Amino acid sequence: MSSSKTYFIILNFNGYSDTVECLESLRQFKNQNFQVILVDNASANDEGKRLAKEFPEYIHILNEKNTGFAGGNNIGVARALQEADCGYIFFLNNDTTVEPDLLDQLLVAANNPENQSYGFFQPKMINYFQRELMDSAGLDYSWNGLGFNRGGNQPVEQYNDNQAILGCCGGAFLCRRPAVEDLWRQAGDFFAEEFFAYCEDLDASLRLQWAGWRALFVAAAIVYHKGGQTANKFSARKVFWPNRNSFWVIIRDWPIRDIFKNLHWLFLGQIGMVVNAFLRRGKLGWWAVKGKIEAVQGSGKMWRRRAAIQTNRSNWLRIKKLMILKWRP
């Protein structure tokens, strides 16, 4: 097995108890050739300092303000890339626990000579509270511009085989250092900081695919995910961010020809998100409208990122083969 080290990037934002449980599970790893970079996103009650005291073996970064999921992870990435022994970066939500052989299983897949074109690897994410159900086996992406967690709420036994997928769920995935560096060279980020939260994993997955890296689901690598432990505290923003960012993903990551070719599906998808927000969230649906308005207003900046992302048309053709048409999870 490679002597390079895996760097876990974990964010904490007012999630002390979840973060402690997550870090304790990492201490049970069979493979100890890893380091953790814990980024505290300006939590209350000195949570970052308390965690640094309780887990002194890890690298701790205490942000003065909440930089969001994207910004916080990027701070961790920048720190990891300073380390010469960093061979892999593992993005892991703080509301997770892991099996002791998680890292071993992923590295076996990554080091397989047949998998060298794969740059990012999705573990099997299982519902923490209902362990017979899946949380995510990666990301599906629809021609209507909607992204979904592959396998969400489906029986675990349906996902026992490794499989090439379009993208990885931001809650837990492993990425080769060269793949991370490819995105970093594009714009000095891995996750788009303009997104703040939501859809940044879909955007990063599409950018990695554009850069020539493929994604692999590794069924034997197990993560248990609670889900929504931080986002639920901001229900209005939870409506706003996906509605804005899903539009931006289309602008950034789709060739203009395919935007126009699928304009009818894209229009229905974006309108459907707004209608669904009103039906399920009542008055909070106006945050969906606000999200779409801000998406249009910010489209110029997103458009200017296209040239750096869309560098190889043949890679888009491979992406298209992995896309589906789907309206609900």
Domain boundaries defined on the chain: 5-231, 232-309
Assign 31 a pLDDT band (cuts: 50, 70, 90).
Answer: confident
The least confident of 6-20, 78-92, 97-111, 216-230 is 216-230
pLDDT in tens, 194-206: 999 999 999 999 9
CATH architecture for segment(s) 5-231: Alpha-Beta Complex (3.90)
Residue 50 burial (10 A CB sphere; 0-12, 13-18, 19+): middle
CA distance 63 to 235: 23
pLDDT of res. 225:
98
Q: Give, in order, the Cα–Cα distances in Å from 313 to each of 108, 167, 275, 309.
A: 31, 18, 34, 11
A 10 A CB-CB count for 117 gives 10
- Is the pLDDT at 1 greater than 80? The verdict is no
Strand 96-98, strand 118-127: pairing: unpaired
| Mean local confidence (pLDDT), 9-36 | 96
Tokens of 269: 């998808």
| Mean local confidence (pLDDT), 247-251 | 98
Partnered with residue 141 across adjacent β-strands are 147
pLDDT of res. 166:
98
CA angle 10–93–280, rounded 5-degree value: 145
Mean pLDDT, the chain, integer = 95
Q: Please report, rounded to a whole number, the percentage of residues in the chain having pLDDT higher than 70.
A: 97
CA distance 328 to 85: 42
CA angle 37–76–21, rounded 5-degree value: 40
- Is the pLDDT at 121 greater than 60? The verdict is yes
CA distance 191 to 189: 6
- Is the pLDDT at 234 greater than 70? The verdict is no
The model's pTM is 0.95
Q: Give, in order, the Cα–Cα distances in Å from 17 to each of 12, 50, 57.
A: 10, 11, 18
pLDDT of res. 291:
98
Picking from 92, 95, 106, the residue whose alpha carbon sits closest to that of residue 19 is 95
Whether 87 contacts 34, CB under 8 Å: no
Cβ neighbours of residue 212 under 8 Å, at least 6 residues apart? 117, 119, 182, 312, 315
